[in-house]
Structures are given as structure tokens and as C-alpha cells.
A and B are shown apart, each in its own frame.
Chain A
Amino acid sequence: MSIPADLKYTPSHEWVRVEADGTLTIGITHHAQDLLGDMVFIENPAAGRTLAKGEECAVVESVKAASDVYAPVAGEVIAANNEVEASPEAVNKDAYSAWMFKMKPANPGDVAGLLDAAAYQKLVESEAH
């Protein structure tokens, strides 16, 4: 599956969509779900929680393993996707529409520090070798 060009990425395999109002929508990448396999449990951060950049804030568990999800930038959680918690397999079906939570970044400029699609593609390829 191709890596969507309109999203930003982290080295820990989260995707980030910068919305028109400056808020961020976050999920895990197709590559991440492919590594983990069938998803069976997702726990999102509660709305209102303040996160530091790189803070462990959510958990995704497949049959095989548990994996932490990290805050891509510092900010406040403004929404969590209950539907994806109820149906974790949605992440396997389409990782880029199965968002997990939304954040308001503490500093809107921080998103510039995230990877673009080309850089993330390179990272995925380098991990495959």
C-alpha cells in the first residue's frame, strides 16, 4: 500500500493529519499494523490529557503483541475515537481512515519537525533490510 502524500509521519510509525483548523488527527501506519497483525485491543488517551512530545499515550494490541503509541508533538488531546476501540480490526482494514485520537498542538510549528511521506517511505525501506 502506498504511503499517503498528504500526511505527516513519525519514526515510531504514527501518521498525523494536519486539519484546516490546525488540530492533528493521529493513527498508526499501514506498515505498523502489518507488523503487528490482527488487532484486538486499542486504548486511547482521554480527551483533556496534556501530552509531551514522544509520551506514551495509547496502546494497540494485536493477537501477537502489544505496542505503545507515542504523542507526535506536545499538546492536548481533544478527542478519542471510541469506534476504533470497539472495533480494533478497523486499523487492519484501513489504517489511514481508522484514526485514534485528535490533538491540539502546544506549538503549531512543531508539525514541521515530522517526517513527510518520502522520508517515511525511506525509513520503512531501511527497516526492511
Chain B
Amino acid sequence: MLKHTPLNATHRELGAKMVDFGGWDMPINYGSQIEEHHQVRRGCGLFDVSHMLPLDIKGANVRAFLRRLVANNVDKLQVSGKALYSCMLNENGGVIDDLIIYFMDENWFRLVVNAGTAEKDLAWMEKMNADWGMGLTLTPRRDLAMIAIQGPDATQALNEALPGVDQITANLKPFNAAAMGEMFIARTGYTGEDGFEVMVLAKSAPFFWKALMEAGGKPIGLGARDTLRLEAGMNLYGQDMDETTSPLESGLAWTVDLKTERDFVGRAALEKSEVTKQLVGLVLLDKGVLRSHQIVHTKNGDGEITSGTFSPTMQQSIALARIPLGIAPGEDVEVEIRDKKLKAKVVKYPFVRNGKVLI
């Protein structure tokens, strides 16, 4: 039995093509994935991301708990509403999940974790909570729906759909959140565009979604969500990194705080490990489409594509690939696609931000 978000009936009314997405019945598109992609780059798109899990952690020791639990440093969070992107590592330095942490107050942090890893994450956190004697309360918030409103017109659509929110959106900086009654409004996203991720009570979600559509937002499926995040150079858990890969070989060194003395799960393993690979961007120069698991031949040995697609903005195929160190942006590599070796160029990602091609 597939799990349903509070917006399931709404997607069906809109004629969405539904797929089994890690056990969730989710919209892959509502028509054309490419048109949906462009809608987010040029206007405003709406995503149902209620399959992801908001998780409230409350108690006197939340900050101390998160200092040990995750690889990034929650001490960067000092202003209420500020958000931090981090990996949660296992003892081997592998990535259990990537997540966003919002600091609300010293007794309350809110995390948002991936759908497919939610149960594993929760079990891990409960175990650490018990092992370290933290005495915290972890509350999964399945009573909340989450809608992402993304694109250059996102602010306008949200302001129109939700009277009074303009007081918040006018001052809300990227990677910050604010509460408005029962709602939680974060200036975050997974598209490389300006926008918001808004948590609302599940029962209010269909009405809110319709108000956003009346304000010009168009529904966007998970298909376009993937091409948008890949153009934006954002990692996808399970593809670009997982429990067997190091964040230092997954383009996530910037999220791992090794500068402070703080001890966190996985740190010792990371410091002992030898980094031999890097995550790079690829642009296919020949015709075809890069896909995950294709082999990349470089002068320093072989690597592998972790995520690949056709970029609707660039009108050519792009990818993230894990390849040996010592291959610099601008160098050419070969990708094995079926029986051919096609030429690709190594580039620094992101590929696209705020509607503009950066390559």
C-alpha cells in the first residue's frame, strides 16, 4: 500500500501522472516535465514535498545533541529561524542522510529529513539520544504538509495566496525561516531559484495549494524537481552519496566542519580516510544523455556518473560524476554510453542559478 500525502487527491484532480516514489504515491509530472522545468526557471512552480519528514527535537540539550550528531556545526545557528544544511554520518564517515536543521530556540530545533531515509534516521537519532543520555523528545510531524513555492515569481504568488505573509517575505533572507501562526515559512528550496518551503497543517494543504495556483503557481512534478536540482548542482541522497560514500568525496566538504575541535559521529573516520575522488560536473559534448552509473574514463583512472540528465535550460546533457582527483575543470573525459565512448567536459557546478546558465 503506497503512502499518500495530504495533497494526493489534489494531484489526481489535476491529472498528474502518479508513480511509486520510494513507497509514496507521488506526481512525476502533470503533462510535460520540460514545460514544468521552464515554469520554475521563468515563473513560479509548486511542489508537494510532504513525503519529506519534519522532525521536532525538544529538550534542554538539543544543541549539545546536534553538535555530536551531525557533521556541520550547529553553533553557526544563533538567530532564531536560521537554517543549516548538514550530513548525518555513521561511525565510518558514510552519509546516513543529508538534512536541514532550523534553530527555533535553545529548547527546540526542527529538522527536515529525506522521505526514503526517515525511519532509519529517526531510529538512529533515538538510539543516540538514549546512548548519550540526552533525554530529548523527538516528534515526527506527519501532521504537517510541505509545499515548495519556487521561481522568480514565488514571493509574489505566496504574498497573494496568504494575506499578511508579505510582512515575513519582505525581510526573510535565504536559508532562514519564520513561523506565522501554525505555519512555518522557510526561504529554502531545491531548484536554484528564489523561493519558499512552507509547512502547513495537513488539513489546510489542499486549500493553500489551490490559493497558490490562483496566484499563478503551476504544479510541478518530481521529474522536473530532479532536473532543476541537478542544474542547480545539488546532491541527491541515495544517488550522489549514501552510507558507503564519504561527504569529502561527494562535493560536500563545505558542509563538514573540521575546523573546530567539536567531536561528532564519523569525524575520526573522516580524518583517517584518504580522499582519492572528487565530485565534478560534466557537460556532454557529443549527442546523447548522461545517466547515473555510466563509466567515466579519465587520464587518472575510471569514475562513475552519480546523477545525469538532459538539461532543459542548457539543451544538452549534464551530470555529476565521482572521478579520481587531479582532473580539473576544462579537461575532457570519455563516458561509456552503450557501445560508444562519448566526449564530455569537466566543469565546476552549479550549472544554472537564478535562471542563468553559469557554464
Contact = CB atoms under 8 A, between A and B. Distances in A.
A63 B227 contact: yes
A37 B309 CA distance: 13
A40 interface: yes
Contact of B223 (A41, A61, A63, A92): A63
A61 B309 CA distance: 10
Contact of B33 (A37, A41, A43, A61): A37
Nearest to A37: B33
Looking at chain B's contact residues, the main secondary structure is mixed
A8 to B, nearest CB: 27
A77 to B, nearest CB: 17
Given A37-B223, A41-B310, A61 B32 contact: no
Nearest to B221: A37
Contact of B34 (A43, A61, A63): A63
A123 interface: no
Interface string B19-42: 000000000110011100000000
Contacts of B29: 37
Interface string A33-77: 000011011010000000000000001010110100000000000
Nearest to B289: A61
B340 to A, nearest CB: 10
A64 B223 contact: yes
B322 interface: no
Interface string B149-175: 000000000000000000000000000
B272 interface: no
B311 to A, nearest CB: 9
A40 B291 contact: no
A40 B315 CA distance: 9
A34 to B, nearest CB: 9
Contacts of A37: 28-29, 32-33, 223
A59 to B, nearest CB: 7
Interface of B: 28-29, 32-34, 223, 227, 287-289, 291, 309-310, 312, 317, 338
Interface of A: 37-38, 40-41, 43, 59, 61, 63-64, 66, 92
Given A40-B289, A41-B287, 14 more contacts: A37-B32, A37-B33, A38-B33, A38-B34, A41-B288, A41-B310, A41-B317, A43-B287, A63-B33, A64-B28, A64-B33, A64-B223, A66-B289, A66-B291
List the 5 closest pairs (A to B, CB-CB), nearest first: A40-B310, A38-B34, A61-B289, A63-B310, A41-B289
10 contacts: A37-B29, A41-B287, A41-B289, A61-B310, A63-B33, A63-B34, A63-B309, A63-B312, A64-B33, A64-B223
